[in-house]
């Protein structure tokens, strides 16, 4: 395993622990899962849940695709900062994802505008990072093809739709309704 692959793996392990830990602590110490849904109607929640499962599968698909290509010259990107863009964007994605549940629980306990603004910023940064990863993977050189590449793009595309539309736009819009 080369240096970039080791860094990428470390970012995902540490970031994954932060995200999962924030969810564990948030669910354990919060007001319960029903409150975290905000105003998302019960009949739409299964769609969200299914989308989260598709996102998880998509995440692991593009994670392994990017992991395999780092440091071997197959995912260079002159549009961004070479391979470093994947390291930076994944770190941002995972770090900001770990802030969501603690901030929402804080907002539930103390509904101040500043906390709500922070929740929205976190959701938008996660969405932008996922869209950035999608664009970076779409524009890699040399041009890629193959089932694994296209599966990674589809998974990342759905991940971007979920974080950008369902999480960053719809969930806050429905909050408290």
Q: Tell me which residue of 4, 166, 173 sits closest to 74, measured CA to CA.
A: 4
Please name every residue paired with 141 in a beta bridge, in sequence order, or none if there are none.
76
Query: Residue 33: which pLDDT band, with cuts at 50, 70 and 90?
Result: confident
Helix (H, G, I), strand (E, B) or coil at 141: strand
- With 80 as the cut, is the pLDDT of residue 19 above it? yes
Return the higher-pLDDT residue of 91 and 36.
91
Least confident of 42-51, 65-74, 120-129, 130-139: 65-74
Q: How do residues 42-61 score in pLDDT, each as one tens digit?
A: 999 999 999 999 999 999 99
CA-CA distance, 116 to 134, in Å (whole number)?
Answer: 27
Q: Are residues 167 and 127 in contact, defined by beta-carbon separation less than 8 angstroms?
A: yes
């Amino acid at each position: 395993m080369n240096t970039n692959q080791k860094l990428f793996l470390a970012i995902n392990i540490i970031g994954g622990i932060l995200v999962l830990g924030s969810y564990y602590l948030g669910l354990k110490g919060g007001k319960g899962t029903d409150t975290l849904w905000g105003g998302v109607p019960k009949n739409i929640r299964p769609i969200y849940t299914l989308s989260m499962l598709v996102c998880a599968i998509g995440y692991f698909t593009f994670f392994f695709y990017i992991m395999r290509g780092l440091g071997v010259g197959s995912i260079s990107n002159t549009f961004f900062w070479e391979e470093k863009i994947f390291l930076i964007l994944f770190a941002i994605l995972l770090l900001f994802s770990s802030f969501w549940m603690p901030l929402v629980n804080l907002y539930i306990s103390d509904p101040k505008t500043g906390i709500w603004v922070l929740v929205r910023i976190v959701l938008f940064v996660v969405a932008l990072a996922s869209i950035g990863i999608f664009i970076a993977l779409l524009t890699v050189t040399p041009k890629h093809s193959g089932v694994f590449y296209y599966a990674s793009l589809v998974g990342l595309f759905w991940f971007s739709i979920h974080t950008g539309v369902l999480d960053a736009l719809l969930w806050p819009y429905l909050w408290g309704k």
